[in-house]
Amino acid sequence: MIKLLRVDHRLLHGQVVFSWVSALDPDCILVANDDVVKDELRKTTLKLGKPNGVKLVIKNIEDSIEAINTGKTDKYRLMIVVSNVADAVRLARQVEQIHSINLGGTKALPGTHQVTRMIYLTDEEEKLLAGAQENGISVNIQPVPSEAVIEYKPRTGAGKGGNA
């Protein structure tokens, strides 16, 4: 059972580990990221930050999609964390069990605009999210479980229907 698909550029950190794990009670966290899977230092760092009693799996995006779609993750209460919008939308479009995307934190970079205090998106990311919403995938903003869920609404003129 997929409890949450969260976009957070920091992947695992105190906020995720303590508040989301406490609220959702997952027994497995899947970090789906093409770069981290090849970086032993980052993998080690993530493993050190995982909560006790929760399994941590680190896979690239394609292997994550395959593992979920073939039922390998069915035995887990799964929380999925990705670092960017494109990966989240790709997962949501290719995994039937995913019905929503939680925007937790994205970095302010050149070409992004501020959506909330912790969410910065490019026009292309807004198109991807609008396209996901058009396909029935809910997109919400909720930094921590104790805060209200805000439905994501693309800026007027952001365009529609981007592809992942």
Residues classed as catalytic: 13
DSSP notation for the chain: -EEEEEEETT-S-HIIIIIIHHHH--SEEEEE-TTGGG-HHHHHHHHHTSPTT-EEEEE-HHHHHHHHHTTTTTTS-EEEEESSHHHHHHHHHH-TT--EEEEEE----TT-EESSSS-EE-HHHHHHHHHHHHTT-EEEE-SSTTSPPEE--PPTTS-S----
Maximum distance among all Cα pairs of the chain, rounded to whole angstroms: 45
- Give the phi and the psi of residue 55 in degrees, each rounded to 5: -75, 140
Which has the closest alpha carbon to 79: 43, 50, 118, 119? 50
